[in-house]
Amino acid sequence: MTQKSTLTHPGHLMIGQLTATELVERFGTPLYVMDEKMIRNQMQLFKRVFVHPKLASEVIYASKAFLTLAMCNLVEQEGLSLDVVSGGELYTAYKAGFPMERIYFHGNNKSAQELAMAIELGCGTIVLDNPFELQLLLPLLDKPQRVLLRVNPGIDAHTHEYIATTKHDSKFGLSTADPATLTLIQQLSDEPLIRFMGLHAHIGSQIFEADSYRKEAETLLRFIRNHQLNIVELNLGGGFGIAYTEQDHPLTLSEFLPSLLDHIADQIEALKLNPIKIMIEPGRSIVANAGTTLYTIATTKTTVNGKNYVFVDGSMADHIRTALYGAHYTAVVANRIDVTPAVHYTVTGKACESGDIIIKDAYLPACQSGDILAVLSTGAYHYTMSSNYNRLPRPAVVFVSDNEARIVVRRETYEDLIRNDLGV
């Protein structure tokens, strides 16, 4: 489906070359809109800057941030590899025709069925999280399988507790301080059908500190040297933070990533290690800023204590990050972006929860019924974390490319909501 825009519209938020208003007229609200060009540009940026003359490198897109069949196609076309963490993500990639050899199957609790599916489909690399997964994997193998092991280097990356992953009591991976980790590495190296390639770690998400990544790399390289491990790949995970509001100051990737590789190349030389390929797994930083959620404003309410609410036609079911992490967002009234903000609103929606808050404090022009509220930077962990709470149908997802828009996930219907219900 396509749509052409011929006019420019002062005062209107543009996504690509289309106004938010015309997208809403055409596709309704709530609506997830993804700027396809921005996604492609971000992927190209990663591919361009994550290179080093002395190191092989690879960029793997972490699909948990945003995954649909159409997204798989973009990842494929831009030449990135793909990180999946479940049978469902793997199935999506498979149905999109994504090259299986470019898939990394993560997850801290993969089932026997998921592993069997991965092997049957020819999934390139399995990233094991614990010895139990190895026991599940071994009987499935009849040919060599590339494997990485997730380890936990004990780095505190100073992010929200729920998205920090490598403190010592984390549920993810095996600690580099635990002797059992070395035992498992030895076993992996000895297994005839396991091609043990190396280590994987992920220190958390929405990280702003370059130093956390340097420490992660140093810790892992020293671990490899101290134990004389025969390792040829090192996957440092994702986590690169993005700006949701003016208070967020993300790393400049075009400077940070080459400098990280420089640092790693120096370390490898200083520690006299054999060549190691370095991988990263960005999710949020590829899709977050490309996404906008559009809502229609129903009405406003001022409480007796003077608190201002604006009610939109979505909810925590399509926007969970504020309720879950206390996340902050920027919003604009998309049909009047030239009007000066005048009122502090709490943006809330339709869900039957006081915690149904989309933005705690949004400074906006006085809102009117029928206005379009655009919540910015919602491309990561919004569609993928959406639910049907209160039997609210999930919004459609639209890709915009220049002056064209196409639905990549259709809006759920009430019929979709009862599709799996039985026992009438």
Q: Which of 240, 295, 311, 383 binds ligand LLP (CB under 6 A)?
A: 240
| 321 near ligand LLP, judged by CB under 6 A | yes
Q: In this structure, which amino acid lies at residue 294? A: L
Size of the site for ligand LLP (CB under 6 A): 21
Q: Which of 24, 65, 82, 234 binds ligand LLP (CB under 6 A)?
A: 65
Length of the chain: 424
Q: Which of 345, 381, 383, 399 binds ligand LLP (CB under 6 A)?
A: 381
Q: Are 271 and 221 in contact (CB under 8 A)?
A: yes
| 205 near ligand LLP, judged by CB under 6 A | yes
Q: Which of 285, 335, 348, 401 binds ligand LLP (CB under 6 A)?
A: 285
| 377 near ligand LLP, judged by CB under 6 A | no
Q: Which residue has the tokens 């399988």?
A: 145
Looking at residue 389, what DSSP letter applies?
Answer: G
Q: Which of 72, 123, 352, 367 is catalytic?
A: 352
Which stretch in 94-102, 238-246, 371-379, 416-424 sits in contact with ligand LLP by CB under 6 A? 238-246
| 378 near ligand LLP, judged by CB under 6 A | no
| 212 near ligand LLP, judged by CB under 6 A | no
d(CA 95, CA 73): 11
Nearest residue to 330 via CA among 362, 366, 356: 362
Nearest residue to 372 via CA among 340, 335, 341: 335
| 238 near ligand LLP, judged by CB under 6 A | yes
Q: What angle do CA 18, 359, 296 make, to 5 degrees?
A: 45
d(CA 217, CA 238): 13
Q: In this structure, which amino acid lies at residue 185? A: I
Q: What token pair was written down for 15?
A: 């996504």
Q: What token pair was written down for 326?
A: 């206390």
Q: What token pair was written down for 164?
A: 């920090």
* Closer of 76 and 83 to ligand LLP (Cβ): 83
Is residue 352 part of the annotated active site? The answer reads yes
| 83 near ligand LLP, judged by CB under 6 A | yes
Which stretch in 19-27, 90-98, 112-120, 231-239 sits in contact with ligand LLP by CB under 6 A? 231-239
Strand 343-348 vs strand 357-364: parallel, antiparallel, or unpaired?
A: antiparallel
Nearest residue to 134 via CA among 83, 97, 188: 188
| 104 near ligand LLP, judged by CB under 6 A | no
Q: What token pair was written down for 105?
A: 């199957």
| 260 near ligand LLP, judged by CB under 6 A | no
* Closer of 282 and 395 to ligand LLP (Cβ): 282
* Closer of 16 and 395 to ligand LLP (Cβ): 395
| 46 near ligand LLP, judged by CB under 6 A | no
Q: Are 52 and 262 in contact (CB under 8 A)?
A: yes
Q: Which of 76, 281, 313, 371 binds ligand LLP (CB under 6 A)?
A: 281
Q: Are 85 and 106 in contact (CB under 8 A)?
A: yes
d(CA 379, CA 66): 7
* Closer of 153 and 283 to ligand LLP (Cβ): 283
Q: Which of 13, 18, 20, 62 binds ligand LLP (CB under 6 A)?
A: 62
The number of beta carbons lying within 10 Å of the beta carbon of residue 344 is 12
Which stretch in 86-94, 131-139, 232-240, 257-265 sits in contact with ligand LLP by CB under 6 A? 232-240
Which stretch in 59-67, 117-125, 187-195, 396-404 sits in contact with ligand LLP by CB under 6 A? 59-67
Site residues, ligand LLP (CB under 6 A): 62, 64-65, 83, 106, 163, 202, 205-206, 237-240, 281-285, 321, 325, 381
Q: Could you list the active site residues?
A: 352
